């Protein structure tokens, strides 16, 4: 699992076929989610990350240019920024519990409550679904609002395109349907 | 300080460190590359590594996916022996993935618009065009005021 991830890092540094590699990256991360017991997340990542995102990126490439110009300023400042941020994050992980530790704070606070009560209260076999749709229903409503806003924004930005362009080339897909 | 770094500690924290490396790869692409589409891809990589970090926090050794087993009638069978991984990060990340796609699509729509307006999707090209526009505006303004702007 860790080897696969490391491989993904090396590959995404490649300059060519960036979009396809991002799809590959999403798919690999979906595999990683499965091994970490998050099957629902893996579904969504494979469908949305590897599917819809790639299609949207390809659509953008079709509407814009396909090649990256290589002229750019010296990479020293970005490297410094990245190294400093990475060091800060690394320092932060020193206090974290070990991977998979049953005594970790995340696994002891409200989590046993959800496991114990969702059978009686919701009666849905999938605990993730029970929490998403019931306990955290308002979050999901907010999420739908975000997606709706984004869809409207995309439509507003794109809608003039067809009018301005003669020959009626295909407009980009409208907002995400997730 | 150094005696903390036992073999167990290093193995137990390897996942966080790998995800940090992935995150920093994404951040580097966002900061250093001039192409706007590439920036979006970098942002996606960054995002997915944050997701992986969260999911790895929810994992419990020996745990299984948080789905109850049912019998043939669809009734839930409770087995106190089974350990389930923490479902709360999963819920959080499900929401985050969908919101992530929403932001990605909005960013891509902006890129299409920028390309239409400026004819380029390179940061450097856009900056050059903007600078020229400002210069032109100042020149016109200065002439209108009857002097050297």
Burial class (CB in 10 A: 0-12, 13-18, 19+), B70: exposed
Q: Among A66, A46, A87, which residue's Cα sits nearest to residue A178?
A: A46
Q: Which residues of chain B lie closer than 8 angstroms to A153, CB-CB?
A: 106, 109
Chain CA centroid to CA A19, Å: 14
| Residue-by-residue DSSP string for B95-130 | HHHHHHHHHHHHHHHHHHHHHHHHS--BHHHHHHHH
Q: Which residues of chain A lie closer than 8 angstroms to B28, CB-CB?
A: 78-79, 82
Question: In the predicted model, what is the mean pLDDT of residues B85-95?
Answer: 84
Instruction: Provide block-wise average pLDDT over 10 residues at a time, chain A (178 residues).
Output: 52 61 82 83 85 84 69 72 87 80 73 74 75 80 90 85 55 44
Q: Is the dihedral of CA A52, A53, A58, A62 positive or negative?
A: positive
- Domain definitions of chain B by residue range: 2-66+86-118, 122-149
- Domain definitions of chain A by residue range: 1-67, 104-135, 141-178
Q: Write the CATH number of the domain with boundaries B2-66+86-118.
A: 1.10.287.3510
Rounded to the nearest 5°, which phi and psi values hold at B16?
A: -60, -40
% chain B with pLDDT above 90: 0
Contact call for residues B119 and A163 (beta carbons, < 8 A)? no
- How many Å apart are CA A125 and CA B74, to the nearest integer? 9
Q: Which residues of chain B lie closer than 8 angstroms to A43, CB-CB?
A: none
Q: Is the ipTM of this complex over 0.95?
A: no
* Mean pLDDT of the residues in chain B: 80
- How many Å apart are CA B86 and CA B63, to the nearest integer? 9
- How many Å apart are CA A127 and CA A147, to the nearest integer? 24
- How many Å apart are CA B49 and CA B41, to the nearest integer? 13
> Cβ B61–A131 below 8 Å, yes or no?
no
């Amino acid at each position: 699992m860790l080897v696969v991830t490391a491989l993904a890092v090396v590959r995404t540094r490649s300059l060519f076929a960036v979009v396809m590699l991002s799809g590959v990256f999403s798919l690999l991360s979906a595999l990683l989610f499965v091994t970490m017991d998050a099957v629902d997340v893996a579904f969504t990542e494979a469908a949305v990350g590897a599917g819809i995102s790639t299609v949207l990126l390809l659509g953008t490439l079709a509407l814009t240019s396909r090649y990256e110009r290589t002229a750019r300023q010296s990479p020293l400042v970005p490297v410094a920024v990245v190294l400093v941020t990475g060091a800060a994050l690394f320092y932060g992980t020193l206090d974290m519990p070990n991977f998979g530790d049953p005594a970790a704070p995340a696994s002891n606070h409200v989590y046993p409550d959800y496991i114990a009560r969702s059978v009686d209260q919701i009666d849905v076999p999938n605990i993730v679904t029970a929490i998403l749709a019931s306990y955290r229903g308002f979050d999901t409503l907010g999420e739908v609002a975000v997606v709706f806003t984004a869809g409207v924004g995309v439509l507003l930005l794109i809608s003039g395109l067809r009018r301005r362009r003669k020959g009626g080339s295909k407009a980009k897909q409208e907002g995400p349907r997730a | 300080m150094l005696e903390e770094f036992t073999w167990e500690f290093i193995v137990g924290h390897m996942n966080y460190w790998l995800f940090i490396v992935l995150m920093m790869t994404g951040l580097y692409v966002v900061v250093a590359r001039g192409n706007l589409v590439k920036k979006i891809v970098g942002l996606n990589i960054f995002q997915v590594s944050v997701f992986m970090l969260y999911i790895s926090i929810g994992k419990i050794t020996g745990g299984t996916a948080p789905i109850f087993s049912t019998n043939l009638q669809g009734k839930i069978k409770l087995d106190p022996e089974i350990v389930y991984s923490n479902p709360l990060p999963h819920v959080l990340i499900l929401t985050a993935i969908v919101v992530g796609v929403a932001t990605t699509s909005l960013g891509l729509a902006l890129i299409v618009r920028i390309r239409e307006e400026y004819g380029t999707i390179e940061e450097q090209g856009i900056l050059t065009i903007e600078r020229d526009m400002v210069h032109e505006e100042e020149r016109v303004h200065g002439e209108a005021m009857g002097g050297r702007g």
